Amino acid sequence: MKTHYVQSGLLARAGAINAVSVRVEGKPAAFSMKRNGSMDGPETENRKEFFASLGFDESSVVRGDQVHGDNIEVANSALTFPETDGLLTRSKKLLLLISVADCVPVLLFNRKLEIAAAVHSGWKGTVKNIAGKAIDLMSNELNSSPEDVVAFIGPSAGVCCYEVGEDVAKYFSPKFLQPTFTAGKSKLDLKSAIASQLIEKGIPKGNIELSEYCSICNPNFHSFRREGESSGRMLAAIAIK
């Protein structure tokens, strides 16, 4: 773990700049990246520091206004896409961003064609298979072969802590669910569910790195489950080196 982010060695070796910011005590707002409408608040300075550490600035970033959907956009310039939870680019000038605080950031990179993608996959996005749809879009629109793609399923709610009710559990295979001592609850292994979706699309298992970190029980991460409405946000970022 770096002083203010974690990254995937698999993606880095493939040629992708990548990072997921962490919670840092002593930093303003514990190094939260939440966008709160203020242009001079601590989160703004935190984002500037995070971008600069990766060699970018605010004028180079691409975001989606995330809605737990499955819309994915191809970016050729820095902007914010409305109602978008997935981003793709072939531009080396752009930094793709996903905001998370327990939901799963999925970072994808085609090492032969140099295509970068970032996906926000909470349980709703996973039910909609947004990560799999990103692979389809890379293949159909950009001629990407799944076997050339490497993936990082980043720090997020882990099966150790992520309890869901029957209203959520019903959408997932029993192999991704574990019993709990709470009636009507199960523990959901969302990271493994997403990995399975990627494998089904043709990505080799060895090309997928799953983060060991659970954002709920690890205090180095912001967590909506742990902190509620006061929770900060992390940013997951990827760019082409």
pLDDT band (50, 70, 90) for residue 188: very high
Contact 84, 125 (CB under 8 A): no
Helix (H, G, I), strand (E, B) or coil at 156: strand
Per the domain annotation, does 189 fall within a domain?
no
| Gap between the Cα atoms of 66 and 90, Å rounded | 21
Q: How far apart are CA 75 and CA 147, in angstroms?
A: 23
pLDDT exceeds cutoff 70 at 39: no
Residue 220: inside a domain, yes or no? yes
Q: What value does the mean pLDDT take over residues 182-194?
A: 96
Question: How many distinct structural domains can be found in the chain?
Answer: 1
Q: Does pLDDT of 200 surpass 50?
A: yes
List the domain range (segments joined by +) for residue 220: 5-156+208-240
d(CA 196, CA 176): 10
Q: Which residue has the tokens 């076997």?
A: 147
| Tens-place pLDDT, residues 131-163 | 999 999 999 999 999 999 999 999 999 999 999
Three-state secondary-structure class, residue 219 = coil
Q: Indicate which CATH number applies to the domain containing 138.
A: 3.60.140.10
> What does the alpha-carbon distance between residue 71 and residue 107 come to, in Å, rounded to a whole number?
16
CB 115 within 8 A of CB 143: no
In a domain, residue 162? The reply is no
Q: Does a structural domain hold residue 193?
A: no
Confidence of residue 176 (pLDDT cuts 50, 70, 90): very high
- Is the residue at 166 inside a domain? no
Q: Is the pTM of this model over 0.75?
A: yes
Mean of pLDDT values over 1-15 = 91
Residue 16 inside a domain? The answer is yes
Q: Does 161 map to a domain? A: no
pLDDT value at 37 more than 90? no
Q: Is residue 23 part of a domain?
A: yes
What is the pLDDT at residue 194? 98
Cα 77 from Cα 62, distance rounded (Å):
8
Q: What is the mean pLDDT of the chain?
A: 95
pLDDT tens digits along 44-69:
999 999 999 999 999 999 999 999 99
